[in-house]
Structures are given as C-alpha cells and as structure tokens.
C-alpha cells in the first residue's frame, strides 16, 4: 500500500536541513508521497527507514531482468493499464518453444527456423528473442540437458519449462550464465525450486492451479526472500489465460497489490497446440493485453511481420510521432540529375518508402518535407502536406541543389498534382501508385 506524506514524515530525521532541496522535512515527505522525489534524496535517512520506505514507495509492478549481455530484457515495470495514460515501458517478448516430446530432427529444424527471422524495422532489430525449452514429466534428463545446450548455443534468452527440481538443476548448470528464466515453481515444489533458481541467480516462474493458488505461492516465495519472479498466467484454457493476465496486471497496477506485481508468461503454444492461426490471434491478443512473454510454436516471417509491427506500435509514446529530418536523401547512388520523389517526415512512412526505393535499385532523390511527423493522408487532412508546402520546400531547398525537374508524388495525394504543377513551373509532376510496395515496378517502368 502507498504511504501518506505524514507516514513518511514520521520516518524522516526532522532536521529541516534543506539538503534534499526542500524547505522542510515535511515538504520533502509530501513530495515523496506524490512520487515526485525519491527517498534517497535525503542523505540523513536511517538505513532501516530507507529500506522500509523504498519498499513502500517502489512502483507496484517490479521490473524483472532476464537474459545477459545484449540479450538482456526488462519485463514488467508498468504503471498504467492503458497506453493513452502513459507509455508502456517493457515490450512483450516472444519465445518459440521446443519440447522433449519432439524428436532430434524436429528440434534441429526448429532451431534453424528460429534464426531465419532477423530484420530491421524503423531502427529496431526484430528477431526471436527467447526460446522456451519444455521438459515433459518423465522424459530423459540427459536428453533435456542436451537440448538446453543446443538451444543456448543460439545466443537467445532461454526459458526452462521444467517442474522437476533435479532436472532443472542439471539444465541450469549448462545455461545459467545466459540468465534464463526457470519456469517451474508450483505450490508443491516452490521451496526447492526457489533454492535452485536463487543458487543459479536466475528468475523463477511461478504457476498455480488457479489465481488463488498462484497468489499464495508467490506470497510464500516472497516471504522466503525470493522476489525475482515472473508469473505463468497460462492456466488450462484461453479464457483462463486471458482472465489471469488481465487480473494479475490490474491487481498490481490499479489496486496496488504487490503480490501480483510481476510480469507474466503466456504460453499460447500450449493453449492452441498445433493451431498456427489461432496461436497468432492469441499472440496478438496478449501483446495488447498484458503478456510480458508470449510463447509460440513457431514464429516465421509471415507471423513475425505483423506481430513485431503491432508491438512496435503498442509500445510507443502516442504523444510523440517518430520523425525523420526533412531534407534530400540520395538513394542508390543518386546525383543531381536523378529523378525526385517526395513524401512526409513520419518515420514509418520514410522507412517503408525508402526501403522500397532501395529495393528498386533506381538512383533517385527522396525529398522529405516537414509534415509534422504525420502519415501522408493524415498530414494532408491536417493541412500539413499541401501543394504549397511541397512547392515551397522544393523551391527553397531543392531547386538550387538538384537539376532533375521530375517530381513523383504519393498516389494517396494525387489530387495535389494540378496545384503543384501550377506552383512549380518547369517541373513535371508524376503521380505514384497508392502503396509503396508498387514502387519498384513503377520506377522501373518509368525509367525504362
């Protein structure tokens, strides 16, 4: 529960020395209660008071770190339920699952498949960040350890799905440096599992037969001193998984119930085994609604392209559109005689259009004018992309530098053609297709 200013005041040294930047200890306490200042700003606080207060004033949902080096990811730490209130901070991470129920050939094929998806989208590397290695009760321990070793060799962060304490211990031996998650604590084994996880220095995943059991197990683990946890919200049905994921997040963020203040794992591979299409629907659902790690059976290009796009959208700040600098961007070795194309300064649009232009191999100058960081039609509807804005930009910034007098405009603003022509004497205005994906063929035909 959050503390009041008065409660915090009682723990201050009451020196009124102003070293924290506040006129009095009381003023300081009020600011801390509002979350405007950190308790550590007072240098005179006793250790006990500090420990108690930092616990009580910490955000309700913990930030848990998994993985090592460049594969380290932060999970959780969210402060709101809806992204319009405040930006979501920790992206959903996707894992592909392996299982002792698969034969060696299938495991190898999957590991090869995982590595294929690796690309860049608006400056962000998109790839399968995690591998879930599932141990089925009674399977051969050595074989599991071998599988874990193989998976670890890919340099992705592992999640060990294993409820057997001895097997988990052996598996951690070969992969603990990569800081995997040990997803295996239950009401029955949590004490032993927690010891194994703590000894290896890794995050422990906790599951229960229902939310009450999960809650009790988390509470028991916390009491035993382990707060390095994630909660497996999967349960036995889609409905239950969704109810768990939402209620865990809501209890922590809205109701300040710290026992549920942990990130979640949702295993859609288990919920929709063998149904690739349904798994994708669920991966999307749990990206929007509160899954910190989503586990799938496969994540090939077809599945990854929309999913990573969705994630990139959901986890950005809506107040600040991502922009690129206005200017002339020569592509494919363009010079002053190369054809010009124009579009807006919205980063996504720039990324899509420049990608297509590069793919065409045709030397061209991409001209980005200031459109407030909005997409083509949005900018047009908002009056930020007009015949005047384009014409002025060309006259002021382009005519002196480029000799070509051919300008291609986006197909979605074909209506601007006549006006731009009137405002830019000497220029030939060409209307491009609607979608950037059609540019390659269009440019080849145009310059043929």
Cα–Cα dist 424/77, whole Å? 53
255 binds, among ligand SF4, ligand B12, another protein, none (CB under 5 to 8 A by kind): another protein
Cα 423 to chain centroid distance, Å, stands at 44
Q: Is 310 in the site for another protein (CB under 8 A)?
A: yes
The number of C-alpha atoms within 13 Å of 436 and in the hemisphere containing its C-beta is 19
Total chain residues near another protein (CB under 8 A) = 63
Cα–Cα dist 180/299, whole Å? 20
Burial of 85 (0-12, 13-18, 19+ CB in 10 A): exposed
Cα 124 to chain centroid distance, Å, stands at 10
DSSP states of 61-105 as a string?
S-EEEES-GGG-EEEE----SSTTTS---S--EEEEEEETTS-HH
Residue of 345, 340, 390 whose CA lies nearest to 362: 340
- Choosing from 8, 37, 265, 352, the residue that interacts with another protein (CB under 8 A) is 352
What part of residues 396-425 is at the interface with ligand B12 (CB under 6 A)? Answer: 408, 410-412
8 A C-beta contact, residue 223 and residue 216: no
- Choosing from 377, 396, 441, 447, the residue that interacts with ligand B12 (CB under 6 A) is 377
Closest separation in Å from C-beta 177 to ligand B12:
41
Question: Would you give the binding string for ligand B12 spanning residues 149-178, x where CB under 6 A is met?
Answer: ------------------------------
DSSP states of 290-328 as a string?
T-SEEEES---HHHHHHHHHHHHHHTS-TTS--B---EE
341 binds, among another protein, ligand B12, ligand SF4, none (CB under 5 to 8 A by kind): ligand B12
Closest separation in Å from C-beta 159 to another protein:
22
Q: Is 380 in the site for ligand B12 (CB under 6 A)?
A: yes
Q: Report H helices in 141-237.
A: 141-152, 165-175, 190-200, 211-223
What part of residues 355-374 is at the interface with ligand B12 (CB under 6 A)? Answer: 373-374
- Choosing from 115, 302, 335, 444, the residue that interacts with another protein (CB under 8 A) is 302
Task: Pull the structure tokens for residue 402.
Answer: 């480029």
Instruction: Tell me how many degrees the CA angle 218-221-224 measures, rounded to the nearest 5.
Output: 150
Closest separation in Å from C-beta 84 to another protein:
4
306 binds, among ligand SF4, ligand B12, another protein, none (CB under 5 to 8 A by kind): another protein
Choose one: 20-28, 81-89, 399-407, 433-441; the region binding ligand B12 (CB under 6 A). 433-441
What part of residues 154-213 is at the interface with another protein (CB under 8 A)? Answer: 211-212
Give the 3-state secondary structure of residue 184. Answer: strand
18 binds, among ligand B12, ligand SF4, another protein, none (CB under 5 to 8 A by kind): ligand SF4
Compute the Cα dihedral for 249, 254, 255, 256 and give only its sign. Answer: positive
8 A C-beta contact, residue 64 and residue 46: no
CB nearer to ligand SF4: pick between 25 and 432: 25
Cα–Cα dist 379/381, whole Å? 5
- Choosing from 226, 264, 298, 349, the residue that interacts with ligand B12 (CB under 6 A) is 349
Closest separation in Å from C-beta 318 to ligand B12:
8
432 binds, among ligand B12, another protein, ligand SF4, none (CB under 5 to 8 A by kind): ligand B12
Give the 3-state secondary structure of residue 340. Answer: strand
With a CB cutoff of 8 Å and minimum separation 6, the contacts of 235 are 210, 241, 243, 244
Closest separation in Å from C-beta 172 to ligand B12:
44
Q: Is 260 in the site for another protein (CB under 8 A)?
A: yes
Q: Is 341 in the site for ligand B12 (CB under 6 A)?
A: yes
Closest separation in Å from C-beta 374 to another protein:
9
Choose one: 294-302, 328-336, 399-407, 434-442; the region binding ligand B12 (CB under 6 A). 434-442
300 binds, among ligand SF4, ligand B12, another protein, none (CB under 5 to 8 A by kind): another protein
CB nearer to ligand B12: pick between 41 and 359: 359
Which residues is 367 bridged to in the sheet? 328, 342
Cα–Cα dist 374/343, whole Å? 10
Cα–Cα dist 277/306, whole Å? 13
What part of residues 203-222 is at the interface with another protein (CB under 8 A)? Answer: 211-212, 214-216, 219
Q: In what order do the strands lie in the sheet with 428-431?
A: 327-331, 364-368, 339-343, 406-409, 428-431
Q: Is 331 in the site for ligand B12 (CB under 6 A)?
A: no
Residues that bind ligand B12 (CB under 6 A): 321, 341, 343-344, 346, 348-349, 352-353, 373-378, 380-382, 408, 410-412, 432-433, 435-436, 439
Residues that bind another protein (CB under 8 A): 82-84, 116, 121, 211-212, 214-216, 219, 237-239, 242-243, 246-247, 250-251, 255, 257, 259-260, 275, 277-278, 280-285, 287-289, 300-303, 305-310, 312-314, 316, 318, 348, 352, 356, 359, 375, 378, 381, 414, 435-437, 440
């Amino acid at each position: 529960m959050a503390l009041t200013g008065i409660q915090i005041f009682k723990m201050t040294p009451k020196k009124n020395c102003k070293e924290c930047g506040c006129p009095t200890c009381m003023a300081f306490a009020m600011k801390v209660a509002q979350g405007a200042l950190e308790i550590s700003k007072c240098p005179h606080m006793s250790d006990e008071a500090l420990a108690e207060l930092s616990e009580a004033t910490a955000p309700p949902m913990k930030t848990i770190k998994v993985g090592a080096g460049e594969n380290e990811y932060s999970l959780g730490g969210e402060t709101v339920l809806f992204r319009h209130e405040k930006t979501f901070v920790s992206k959903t991470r996707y894992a592909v699952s392996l299982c002792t129920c698969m034969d060696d050939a299938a495991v190898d094929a999957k590991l090869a498949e995982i590595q294929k998806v690796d690309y860049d989208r608006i400056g962000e590397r998109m790839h399968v960040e995690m591998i879930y290695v599932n141990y089925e009760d009674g399977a051969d321990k050595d074989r599991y350890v071998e599988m874990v070793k193989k998976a670890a060799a890919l340099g992705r962060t592992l999640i060990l799905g294993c409820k057997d304490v001895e097997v988990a211990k052996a598996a951690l031996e070969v992969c603990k440096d990569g800081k995997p998650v040990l997803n295996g604590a239950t009401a029955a084994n949590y004490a032993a599992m927690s010891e194994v996880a703590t000894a290896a220095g890794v995050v422990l995943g906790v599951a229960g037969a229902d939310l009450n059991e999960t809650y009790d197990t988390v509470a028991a683990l916390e009491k035993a001193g382990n707060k390095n946890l994630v909660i497996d919200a999967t349960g036995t049905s889609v409905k239950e998984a969704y109810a768990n994921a939402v209620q865990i997040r809501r209890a922590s963020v809205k109701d300040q119930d710290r026992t549920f203040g942990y990130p979640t794992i949702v295993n859609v591979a288990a919920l929709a085994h063998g149904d690739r299409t349904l798994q994708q629907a669920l991966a999307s659902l749990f990206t929007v609604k509160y899954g910190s790690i989503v586990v799938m059976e496969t994540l090939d290009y077809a599945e990854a392209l929309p999913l990573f796009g969705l994630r990139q959208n959901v986890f950005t700040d809506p107040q600040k559109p991502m922009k690129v600098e206005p200017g002339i961007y020569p592509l494919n070795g363009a010079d002053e005689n190369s054809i010009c194309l124009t579009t807006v300064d919205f980063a996504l649009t720039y990324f899509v259009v420049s990608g297509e232009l590069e793919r065409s191999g045709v030397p061209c100058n991409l001209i980005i004018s200031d459109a407030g960081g909005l997409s083509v039609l949005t900018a047009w509807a908002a009056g930020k992309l007009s015949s005047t804005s384009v014409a002025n930009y060309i006259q002021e910034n382009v005519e002196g530098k480029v000799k070509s007098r051919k300008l291609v405009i986006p197909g979605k603003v074909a209506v601007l053609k006549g006006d731009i022509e009137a405002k830019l004497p000497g220029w030939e205005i060409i209307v491009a297709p609607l979608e950037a994906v059609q540019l390659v063929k269009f440019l080849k035909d145009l310059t043929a």
